[in-house]
Structure 1
Amino acid sequence: MSSKVIHAIYTDDDLLMQAVKQTREANYHIEEVYTPFPVHGLDKAMGLAPTRLAITSFLYGLVGLSVAISMMNFIMIQDWPQDIGGKPSFSFLENLPAFVPIMFELTVFFAAHLMVITFYMRSKLWPFKQAENPDVRTTDDHFLMEVSVGKHNVKDMSKFLSDTGALEVNLINK
């Protein structure tokens, strides 16, 4: 079953923001907005939920900290304790100041790398994936708002989107 969407193309980000607000006020469902650069406040104007990526980053940092502590405790205290510079490594707490930089680095390493992997998986950005950009001009200087037709009248929606300042309004079968 194919669904119909309307692509409204804009040439200015301020005009796009105003159009998004008007479209939401008119109770039309915005599927996606394609922009050539990040538009500040667009996520709030579209009514998108805040991201939980920061929470996962914190959890990944805790995993990195845990790995660092357990790794250093095993390597430097249990498995092969050494007398380095006259400082014997017989207790983790006695040597904690020397371990702080390693704990910090592994915390940041795990948080950064696992957060990037999570972002790519969540965004469905796989290696060698074909681009899903509906109009090539949105990578240069145009903005595209994709609005679901649903049970609405196509002519009324097209007129409404034209009145919001859209340069082009096209009906697309998905």
Structure 2
Amino acid sequence: MASKVIQAIYTDDDLLLQAVKQVREARYRIGEIYTPFPVHGLDKAMGLAPTRLAITAFIYGLVGLSVAIAMMNFIMIEDWPMDIGGKPSFSFLQNMPSFVPIMFELTVFFAAHLMVFTFFMRSKLWPFKTAENPDVRTTDDHFLMEVEVANHNTEDLTDFLFNTGASEIKLIDNK
């Protein structure tokens, strides 16, 4: 089944943001938007659901903290207790103030590194993946909005997008 999309190119991010609001008010469906840099407020204008990446970062931080506590308890208390500076090594709680930097560092380490992998998996970015960018100018200074044609009149939609400030419009058949 072939689907048609109209690619509208904009030259300004504020113009794109206003155009997205107008397209959504007119009840057209936006497929994707390609921008050379993050545009503040674009996700809300598109009506995208809030991301849950912050929750996963928190969970990854808890995993790092748990690994740090388990590692230090095993190494410094159970396996090979050492008398460092006259401090007793009988319990984890007595020595916890000296373990705080390690706990902090491993929390940040796990959260940061696991978030990178999560971002790449969620974005479907991996080594040797071919680029999906429809227009090379969107990596420099142009903004591209794909609007699904579906059952709409192509000419009316094209005129509407030109009225929103699009500088260039193409009709593309996705197969």
TM-score normalised to structure 1 length: 0.97
Separation (CA, whole Å) in 1 of partners of 2:87 and 2:13: 62
What is the aligned-residue identity percentage? 80
What's the CA shift for 1:88?
2.5
**CA deviation profile, 1:74-120 (whole Å, cap 9, x unmatched):** 11111111111211211111101011110010001001111111011
Q: Which residue of 2 aligns with 1:63?
A: 63
Q: Which residue of 2 aligns with 1:79?
A: 79
Q: Which residue of 1 aligns with 2:19?
A: 19
Separation (CA, whole Å) in 2 of partners of 1:108 and 1:143: 35
SS in 2 for 1:146: strand
SS in 2 for 1:87: coil
What's the CA shift for 1:152?
1.1
Alignment map for 1:141-152 (pairs within 5 Å) = 141-152=141-152
Structure 1 runs, 4 residues or longer, greater than 6 Å off:
none
Q: Which residue of 1 aligns with 2:108?
A: 108
What's the CA shift for 1:38?
1.2
**CA deviation profile, 1:135-169 (whole Å, cap 9, x unmatched):** 01111111100011111111111111111111111
* 1:168 counterpart = 2:161: no
2:118 aligned partner, one-letter code: T
Separation (CA, whole Å) in 1 of partners of 2:94 and 2:19: 62
Separation (CA, whole Å) in 2 of partners of 1:82 and 1:141: 60
Q: Please tell me the root mean square deviation across aligned C-alpha atoms, in Å.
A: 0.8
Unaligned runs of 5+ in 2: none
1:97 aligned partner, one-letter code: P
* 1:133 counterpart = 2:143: no
TM-score normalised to structure 2 length: 0.97
